[in-house]
Amino acid sequence: MWTILRVSALLAAGVWASAVAVGQPSGRTGGEARAVAEAFGGTLQRLNIGAAAFQHLNNKSGYEIDWSTDGFLTYTDENFLGVFVAPLELPAGAKIYSICAFFYDTAPVGDVTLYLDAVKLADGFQTLPEVVPVIGPLVNDIDTGYGGMCSGAPVYTFRDFVDVDGDGYEEEIVHRLRVQMTETGEGRLAFGGVRVVWYRDVSPPPSTPSFADVPLDHPYFKWIEALQASGITAGCSPENFCPNAPLTRAQMAVFLAKALGLHWPY
């Protein structure tokens, strides 16, 4: 029989579709699951962003960008740095496991550098505009043709309201991928795109329990608190969650509909 405890842990961990251990992202050593749109669960997901999605920030004429037959963006200006950016949007709380850039480089004096930036949105009071790199620089300078480079640890938590610069204030931010390509000289310097590997995670638990029957040392404390904080459940009474009580089909319908945001016909 399904109990409220079992369903709560499954919903909070998001493993309905992934069938992985509670709270553990699977497949971190390879074989990442490719989401058709956006999958739920703790499995690693890939988001591929091609070069066509990037905007050239410091280009006024457009003539130094050459789209070659392999679909890579070839940078041909020999006079100044080329900067290309694309927005990155992920669910709040998503963990970025790695970011990889794909390129072609036979230019001895040219290289490709990748960043993930947090861009602060100024509110006119506590916050001034600022671009804060949160991953990078990842620098390629192989000069031997096609290749790729990926970021490593630590994992970055994707949020849109956070103290990203350490000034003691949480700020509204957006994220962007930034690719810099130096002047080429001889050879070819080209950029193909970026792959972002990420997974969902459950938010850290509070320091004070919300329910008297789910104390801090309860094995499912974190996941039950996540359901309470997200508004999926308020417990079986104002004080208790009743973690071992049986779960009816009607209660399960409420849990699932709230968790998945059902139903929007248009």
DSSP, collapsed to helix, strand or coil, labels residue 55 as: strand
Beta pairing, strands 82-88 & 171-181 = antiparallel
pLDDT above 50: residue 15: no
Query: Rounded to an integer, what distance in angstroms lies between the CA atom of residue 181 and that of residue 189?
Result: 8
Output the pLDDT for position 137: 92
Q: What's the structural domain count of the chain?
A: 2
**Residue range 24-82, pLDDT digits in tens:** 333 434 444 443 346 667 788 999 999 989 988 876 555 567 777 788 888 877 677 88
Same domain for 105 and 171: yes
In a domain? residue 233: yes
**Residue range 65-124, pLDDT digits in tens:** 777 778 888 887 767 788 999 999 998 889 999 999 999 988 888 888 999 999 988 776
In a domain? residue 245: yes
CB 198 within 8 A of CB 45: yes
Higher pLDDT, 32 or 132: 132
Element (DSSP H or E) covering residue 173: strand 171-181
Same domain for 167 and 103: yes
Q: Is the pTM of this model over 0.85?
A: no
Same domain for 213 and 121: no
pLDDT above 60: residue 21: no
DSSP letters for 77-146: -SSS-EEEEEEE---TT-EEEEEEEEEEE--TT--EEEEEEEEE---SSS---EEEEEEEEEEE---SEE
Of the residues 181, 199, 217, which one is the last residue of a structural domain?
Answer: 199
Question: Which residue segment(s) compose the domain that 13 sits in?
Answer: 4-22+203-260
Q: 189-225 b/e with 16+ CB inside 10 Å = b? A: bbbbbbbbbbbbbbeebeeebbbebbeeebebbbbbb
In a domain? residue 27: no
Same domain for 156 and 78: yes
